[in-house]
Amino acid sequence: MVGLLDPLVVKGVTLKNRIVMPPMQTGRATTEGAVTDRLINFYTRRSTSLGLLIIEHCYISTQGRLSFKQMSIHEDALVEGLKKLARSIHKLHTPAIVQISHAGAVANKRVIGEQPAGPSATRLSRELMRDEIEELPEEFAQATERIARSAWLLTESVLLTVIQQAQGQLRWLSEEQDAFSHYGC
């Protein structure tokens, strides 16, 4: 019988066991979202025993930031730190995924310095403007390209709609749904 500690091959990638660490924000980045030695120590210590690691959510734009010491990938200057983290984890032969995100309406007003914006206005957030919605796929694409440059295996994208859906806040307007149906909304 196959056990938890047996290897698993997924699409050509070998996991040394079936233990997966889900993304969990650690609050160990700098206030600019850069990787720190503390963050590297945290993930490398755990990677030794994992089959697959999913690195906590990294914001793709300052508008989509959730907390002060959250990791980020919204600008090129952050690539070097992520590369260093990737090198430390790959040395242990542990495949890893980086989660990238935009917190949308649940972004933190105190942290981003403006009212958060999401698909629908809520008590604490405003509705995204059309040009902001159009910028989002490009911001995700740029963040994904930076992650690829940092030598990571894969990215997992979490869009504000997912976060809002999870929190039961989504009230899509039918006209917006039509206008952006090509994004899979």
Binding site for ligand FMN (CB under 6 A): 22-25, 56-57, 99, 158
Nearest residue (CB) to ligand FMN, 108 versus 180 = 108
Residue 163 C-beta: closest distance to ligand FMN, Å:
9
Handedness of CA 176, 178, 179, 184 (dihedral sign): positive
Nearest residue (CB) to ligand FMN, 20 versus 173 = 20
Residue whose C-beta lies closest to ligand FMN: 22
> What residues contact residue 76 under an 8 Å CB cut-off, 6+ apart?
146
What is the side-by-side strand order in the sheet with 20-21? 20-21, 52-59, 96-101, 154-158
Nearest residue (CB) to ligand FMN, 19 versus 121 = 19
The first and second tokens of residue 159, run together, are 């869009």
Residue 158 C-beta: closest distance to ligand FMN, Å:
6
Residue 76 C-beta: closest distance to ligand FMN, Å:
22
| Residue 114 Ramachandran class (φ > 0 left, ψ -120 to 50 alpha, else beta) | beta
Nearest residue (CB) to ligand FMN, 56 versus 139 = 56
Residue 182 C-beta: closest distance to ligand FMN, Å:
26
CB of 79 within 8 A of CB of 36?
no
